[in-house]
Amino acid sequence: MKKTIPLLSLLTSCSLLLLSSCDSHSKNDDHGHPHNEDGSHVEATSDDHDHGEEVALGTFEIGGLKVEAAQAHGSVEAGKEFGLIIKLPYNDDGSTIIRAWIGTEDRTLSSPGKGEYAPSHGDYEIHTIAPDPLPEGSQWQVEIEKPDGTKLTGSFPFN
């Protein structure tokens, strides 16, 4: 009986320590993006919208529309996740759909990501994984679907 009480006390203390260190509201995934307990993505706010280290790629014309682009999460390498930040020349409060992928126009081996609008920045952030191996001539490929259904496509080099 003497051994049972200290062991029980130790287990209770460990359980309480684990419970107190858990955040019951949200947690980050492996890439630092906030998620709820059920795994759903938490919408970014002005306080938590962080693209990480960004590299400005420039302004590019996509279907007659001039967009600003920046790359997040380092230089593109095969098999790794990267972020693309797109700023449209107009404010649409997130009603445009933007998809992007790294690779070729035909999406071979690519994993397209859909943009999440950040009202605090007025931009869209898209996450995608670079194909492994990277097809020859790979670039950022972008598809913009305007609120009226018009689709614009274009590409530009990654960092």
- Model confidence pLDDT, tens digit, residues 90-134: 989 999 999 999 999 999 889 999 999 999 999 999 999 999 999
Contact 109, 131 (CB under 8 A): yes
Does some domain include residue 104?
yes
Q: Which domain holds residue 69?
A: 54-156
Residue 50: both structure tokens together: 């962080």
Give the type of residue at 30: D
Question: CATH number for the domain including 63?
Answer: 2.60.40.1930
- Regarding whether 119 and 77 lie in a shared domain, the answer is yes
Q: Is the pLDDT of residue 80 over 90?
A: yes
- Regarding whether 68 and 132 lie in a shared domain, the answer is yes
Contact 86, 100 (CB under 8 A): yes
Element (H, E) at 118: strand 116-118
Contact 91, 106 (CB under 8 A): no
Does some domain include residue 138?
yes
Whether the link from the prior residue into 89 is cis, omega within 30° of 0, is no
Does some domain include residue 48?
no
Does some domain include residue 97?
yes
Provide the number of structural domains found in the chain: 2
What is the distance between the alpha carbons of residues 149 and 153, in angstroms, rounded to a whole number?
A: 13
Residue 66: both structure tokens together: 């001039």
Lowest-confidence range among 42-46, 95-99, 146-150?
42-46
Q: Residue 23's Cα: distance from chain center in Å?
A: 22
- Regarding whether 62 and 25 lie in a shared domain, the answer is no
- Regarding whether 31 and 62 lie in a shared domain, the answer is no
- Regarding whether 118 and 91 lie in a shared domain, the answer is yes
- Regarding whether 21 and 64 lie in a shared domain, the answer is no
- Regarding whether 10 and 75 lie in a shared domain, the answer is no
Residue 83: both structure tokens together: 């972020």
Which residues lie closer than 8 Å to 24 by C-beta, 6 or more apart?
37
- Regarding whether 59 and 22 lie in a shared domain, the answer is no
pLDDT computed for residue 113 by the predictor: 97
pLDDT computed for residue 98 by the predictor: 98
